[in-house]
Structure 1
């Protein structure tokens, strides 16, 4: 008795041998299921379902359904402020872990913040301001337990470069600061808007390979910029490309370098790199590289103070404004020429900051096996930057180096950010005068040692092995940043990422299928050399949806497959092709242009006396084939559930072998 296969629309056309229907006798064919025609969905429901799947795939309203009004209000507050949910189970044991982690990352962030503010061409206190207010807000609104919030090197450099193109940070200091606050405000608005409207998928258009290259290029650029502080050079280029920087460095060899500064900077850079090496070799000693920057600042500051090395040309931080964040609401440009400039810079900086934060959050969430809501993260990051712009902060986001230390220090929740924020507050109120004699060379050493971790050679090698086009995107972004500027590198990264998407959409893969011996499975003959051709039948699989962007290419590629097949058959004096079977399993959708392309393909095949057959079209595709009457054009008897069923009708003797 013959086996009957399932009538599901989603059935695979490559069923195993156990599902293959065997005939009763030599002349009897297996039972063949017809492809069912699904009921036509209502237009409004179809549009609603599409929009819901695009913007609400996780159904955020599900927890609110069938809940009393009071419970809905509580759930709403917990959605906006996750701390109200996980805070119920918070205890002293978790606080101990968060306290240690918070103190550890505070010791790392304070010297980093002072250095990063220089990358943004802002006074040192602005870096500390940005590690006080934003982490507090994130602790209440963020969903990641491990991410450490504050200024980061890449965003600081990007912001400083873009702002410097508009205003001189020395000659127009006040206007420059105002533009920085304006850019931060719009960075927050961009992030919060993407999260509120659930448009987080937009940041996924920047490929991983492009991000790896961009980060590595930014790390090199940042490190080169620190040669000014490391070598004690006073006059330095404002450009960031490697050629301009190296000209500036070697042009100052005879009159600009300061040997005392070099001794201080290089010796402590070696110390910091050695501390990082110790931390990598022994994970239990994670605290060594974490406290090394602050220890370097204390020792070098004390050394400069007792020797008065500043009199010998060693550049020092000097005055850092004491006190908590002053209000900057009235300094944001909401009108005038700088409004659009601030908006443009803010959108770019906000997107890069968002990409880095979400990537960091997802990385550590997977390591601890918990989920973070990307859209909630965007709202939290956006809110903290909006509030930050009104309290003298510049763009803050998740820091990978601090988040890694936070994770290894045993943090249990976002309370570690609150602890770090409290330490920064104490620093602003009490300790800032002690940084007066801190040499700039130490800050340069700290930044260099921090950004070297952004260069991921293992990731670059893996990208090369897996996908050469991805490697081109990676290198394009890298060389764009190093040899041009941060914004050029970013533009190249985005352009190559989009180019890859367009290439994949407009030039999808197709494959000629053959039968795996002793099965009813049909596979790519290039992948499976033992797969055999079917006499008189050409089987082609289309590995993509068929849209206006690729429909002509798919039609022409199929006809090229046919031409190559006919030439090969003629050369070997074998029967020509009488049937063309299109495996539609991977075709998730089709539009009007796609259907027109199939109609043109059908007419071209008719002129050659070749019958077109379709195998396993999905529900959406089948709906449109019937709506356009294409199914009637080729004949509904020529639409099959499996490739094997099509072969039974086209070459029954071969299929029974």
Structure 2
């Protein structure tokens, strides 16, 4: 605020009533914060380990659900973990490392019973692109596993810091259509990149832009190898089992759960069958060069072979720095979106900050096991939820399954065909593609967000995942800023409504004056009394949008209200340069001006305003100055539905609310009776108010003195008597403004009559 405006603001405060106006104090604000710092620190430390709130009351009845869910997820996460490691261009055992650490660590920090942390398709594809970027800039310096583990350590540390600082609300700035568009584009990219491995096609970069991969795959179809027999068979079997079980479950509802678990086992069934088939086909067909007729995983080390502190080098950190925002955003977005979805679905509330702490600790600790970045998995979380999980302890059961696979099943992993893993990947990521119904809902709710969805998909497909996610985030933020800076405000009129139940009692409601403001176009909206303007703000009144609202109000006044000063007789040389006014001596322009109503009061509906700041108060002062200059006399400003004492305080500081009103409407409400003397919030004694007629006591037989019996029934003013321009609702504010207008006309008529008699 400028010095001149600050001085003017100070003068308005000096001109206030002698008695101080009751407003919220800073001391009250501090008291409203609540508990002591020691209690807050204690509660904060306990909140870091949610397991302490439920593990002490764990009962055996929960164990069955956790055991079934843990085993079910474990059966799925083993083949998926190895498949996703292949997407990340890492050896398959690294997917098992990430799976083990994710499900185990999350149990201690989780606020969601359903979420399963581990390797996911989108993060795996991102890791592969980051590895490619770093190795292209620094060829031969670091291997893929080292880059991936350092990436997990750094991103985990960043996310952990965000969670500890309680900054998880930053994720809310990214809209759901933006996330859906990015996930859809990423799923298409992943599926397109796995089709060459599914068909055995080689000879081009499968990590290039998606459209290039699709074109090269189509060109390479004539060179399809025997891998396609395993890949296509596996993919067909996965969908056949799933579709069949879904249909049988709907046809036989009593056996739906049996068919569900049969469907769940399809991943393990396909991998086992394809592995046996690959062993039978390849065991005697090894060439002299050591190659097999189809591509298989071959040796998978058993146990944890890469335990140890991640090798963090300064040069490697510099090479990773440009890619850290992308990896961090994906960790945040995917996990928070999944945890919130299952919280809403199953009727509990998650703590976003604690969830960030969980994935932060998971990735930081996981880097010591050789794991690469892991986050929440949608498919495994849905599986865990449908399996009947009861608590996060199911993650420990899943971790045991992964351990058993790491130490006991790795010899069998040797014969797993790569085409079979590609089939599992394509089958899994297909669920990430938004359905046509969901996309159509984006269009119906908000066409602009529908465009953002398409932009995220197209940029991801035709450019890269990195550009896709940045495009979706930037578009979401731009749309948010546009909506904040250009809020919708409406000038209101009145209609009378009553219930259709036969009740003839009518009441007034305020609706927009413009056509289309209400549903039925046949309803006639009655504008307020000539000289009164009613305006509803539909956003908080803050510095980004106060200028827009100021212009809308002033422009409406100048277009529809009478100009107080006749400019047609003012010399051209005396007129301001930016307001020429009508032509000199143009009587017809003055006649049009005289037909317009004289502005008396402006009523502002603050029912949707939750915050107000210094810039917006100054803009409101400027608007008042401008409309009073136009009307050439003072204008009353009434404010309706100001429920926040801090908004009242800000408006009083700007010189609003107090003063002499032409008509005073004081809203009173029932108060809780007490045994002592009652004083209302404005500071006035109850007896003084009652004697002045502002408060009327009901005929309940209570004493007329200042002592009130417990069963007495009394009323007190809702708002302070010193701020007659603040009103509890819009009806009261408009009634006061129109009443003041009538009183002003009556007083003017009386003065005219007296003058004529003299």
* Higher RCO, Cα 8 Å, sep 6+: 1
Q: Does 1:595 align with 2:595?
A: no
Partner of 1:624: 650
Partner of 1:244: 212
Q: Distance in 1 between matches of 2:392 and 2:736?
A: 64
Q: Distance in 2 between matches of 1:572 and 1:101?
A: 79
Partner of 2:547: 552
Alignment partner for residue 182 of structure 2, among 201, 209, 214?
A: 214
Partner of 2:264: 290
Partner of 2:411: 433
Q: Distance in 2 between matches of 1:231 and 1:251?
A: 12
Give the paired residue count: 600
Alignment partner for residue 345 of structure 1, among 323, 327, 331?
A: 323
Change (3 A) 1:648 1:368: closer
Q: Does 1:197 align with 2:171?
A: no
- Provide, for residues 493-549 of structure 1, a one-character-per-residue CA deviation record: whole Å limited to 9, x for no partner: 110111121012101110111112252432323433433102312211111222221
Q: Does 1:299 align with 2:273?
A: yes
Change (3 A) 1:145 1:511: same
Q: Distance in 2 between matches of 1:146 and 1:92?
A: 19
**TM-score, with length taken from structure 1:** 0.84
**TM-score, with length taken from structure 2:** 0.73
- Provide, for residues 612-649 of structure 1, a one-character-per-residue CA deviation record: whole Å limited to 9, x for no partner: 42322442222112223355699865544443334334
How do residues 494-509 of structure 1 correspond to structure 2 at under 5 angstroms?
A: 494-509=473-488
Partner of 1:524: 512
- Provide, for residues 136-194 of structure 1, a one-character-per-residue CA deviation record: whole Å limited to 9, x for no partner: 11112212211112101111112222232121599648433222111111221122112
Q: Does 1:371 align with 2:349?
A: yes
Change (3 A) 1:290 1:476: same
Alignment partner for residue 80 of structure 1, among 41, 48, 54?
A: 48
Q: Distance in 2 between matches of 1:374 and 1:383?
A: 14
Q: Distance in 2 between matches of 1:113 and 1:583?
A: 56
- Contact 1:131–1:150 at 8 Å: present in 2 too? yes
- Provide, for residues 421-477 of structure 1, a one-character-per-residue CA deviation record: whole Å limited to 9, x for no partner: 111111111211211121111111101110111112232221111111221222221
How do residues 15-414 of structure 1 correspond to structure 2 at under 5 angstroms?
A: 37-42=21-26, 46=29, 64=39, 79-168=47-136, 172=140, 174-254=142-222, 256-258=223-225, 260-281=226-247, 282=249, 283-284=256-257, 285-308=259-282, 313-324=293-304, 326-331=306-311, 333=312, 335-414=313-392
Question: Could you say what the CA RMSD is over the residues aligned between the two structures, in angstroms?
Answer: 3.1
SS in 1 for 2:411: helix
> How far did 1:104 drift?
1.1
Higher mean C-alpha displacement, 367-376 vs 100-109:
367-376
SS in 2 for 1:608: helix
- Contact 2:604–2:638 at 8 Å: present in 1 too? yes
Change (3 A) 1:326 1:405: same
Higher mean C-alpha displacement, 203-212 vs 345-354:
345-354
Q: Distance in 2 between matches of 1:204 and 1:89?
A: 33
Change (3 A) 1:293 1:595: same
- Contact 1:142–1:381 at 8 Å: present in 2 too? no
Q: Distance in 1 between matches of 2:341 and 2:654?
A: 46
Q: Distance in 1 between matches of 2:82 and 2:742?
A: 74
SS in 1 for 2:369: coil
- Contact 1:615–1:639 at 8 Å: present in 2 too? yes
- Contact 1:212–1:459 at 8 Å: present in 2 too? no
> How far did 1:224 drift?
0.3
Change (3 A) 1:300 1:170: farther
SS in 1 for 2:146: helix
Partner of 1:534: 528
Higher mean C-alpha displacement, 305-314 vs 158-167:
305-314
Partner of 1:3: none
Q: Distance in 1 between matches of 2:156 and 2:538?
A: 40
How do residues 599-610 of structure 1 correspond to structure 2 at under 5 angstroms?
A: 599-609=621-631
SS in 2 for 1:511: strand
- Contact 2:178–2:453 at 8 Å: present in 1 too? yes
Q: Does 1:417 align with 2:395?
A: yes
SS in 2 for 1:329: coil
Partner of 1:645: 732
- Provide, for residues 18-69 of structure 1, a one-character-per-residue CA deviation record: whole Å limited to 9, x for no partner: xxxxxxxxxxxxxxxxxx95434127x64796xx69xxxxx8989x58xxxx
- Contact 1:195–1:376 at 8 Å: present in 2 too? yes
Partner of 2:448: 469
Q: Does 1:613 align with 2:637?
A: yes
> How far did 1:262 drift?
1.8
Partner of 2:4: none
Question: Who wins on radius of gyration, i.e. which is larger?
Answer: 2
Q: Distance in 2 between matches of 1:140 and 1:164?
A: 34
Change (3 A) 1:170 1:410: farther
> How far did 1:240 drift?
3.9
Q: Distance in 2 between matches of 1:313 and 1:606?
A: 89
Partner of 1:579: 601
